[in-house]
Amino acid sequence: MFIYLHVLLEGAVYAEFTYEVFGFCREMDTTLTHLTVPYVLLVLQAVFFYLCARRDPGTVTKKKISGQLSLYPYDGRLFHPGVSCETCQLIKPARSKHCRVCDRCVQRFDHHCVWVNNCIGARNTRYFLLYLFSVCAMAGDMAVLTGDMLFHAVLRSGLLRASYVDEYGEQQPAGPLFVAQHLFLTFPRIVFMLGFLVFVFLLLAGYALFHFYLALVNQTSNEWYKSRGYTCQHCHPDATADRLRGPAPDHFKRNHYSRGLLRNLEEILFPPKPVQKKLS
């Protein structure tokens, strides 16, 4: 459902941009190079979306379990050795979690993203980050082009030098509110689209920066959430008791998987592969 909503919103924005904004920008001498950037970003975003949605996030399987168990050590706080998943009937590797939506345990589990209909884990976190940043760049670039078009429309119309007669019969200069009302009445769809683009950019920019921070410190959103005392009943045997204790102490919030900024980023971009142990 969310994928269809994603495609519908994206299609509506690009249809409006192509149908109205593109033509107005060409009339105002915006270069064709600048106007093609949103379409290039659309292609990149579609590629990262596909990779994020279709790539295996790192499913824990019987075939790979021996190698996946050796990828990360148990920290003894968030992840404990010898704990089995009741659903998969497999020992849970450190940093893994069972996703109730996908019905599988995922290596280095971050979260389940409804917008791509897939878990975000060890094997597709890099694509998820690139997808977020490409959507931010796409929304930001289109917002700048649309805002520039409206600004030049105001300059060409002479609205800034205009005046109107108020309810008391006095002549008043056109202020920002008057200009905004005029733009909304003249370009209602474009103004609405601009507001939507700004909202999406601000929302996703904050979300993307948060996930980039997590990548820098080698932490998943699941670990960040749990380290603050909000444990999941499906992941921790004493989840209810932990909630009653209140916020987690400082030593519980420590991240035991950070290896420095560069090595943390390297792990995201080039995730380690589980090595199967051969029986001699």
Hey, which residues are catalytic here? 113
- Positive or negative, the Cα torsion across 30, 189, 194, 201? negative
DSSP letter (8 states) at residue 94: T
The continuous run of DSSP H or E covering 164 comes out as strand 163-165
How far is residue 211's CA from residue 3's CA, in Å, rounded to a whole number?
21
Using CB atoms within 10 Å of the CB of residue 35, give its burial: 0 to 12 exposed, 13 to 18 middle, 19+ buried.
Answer: middle
Neighbours of 86 (CB within 10 A): 8
Sign of CA dihedral 111, 112, 116, 122: positive
CA separation, residue 108 to residues 1, 68, 83, 114 (Å): 26, 10, 16, 18
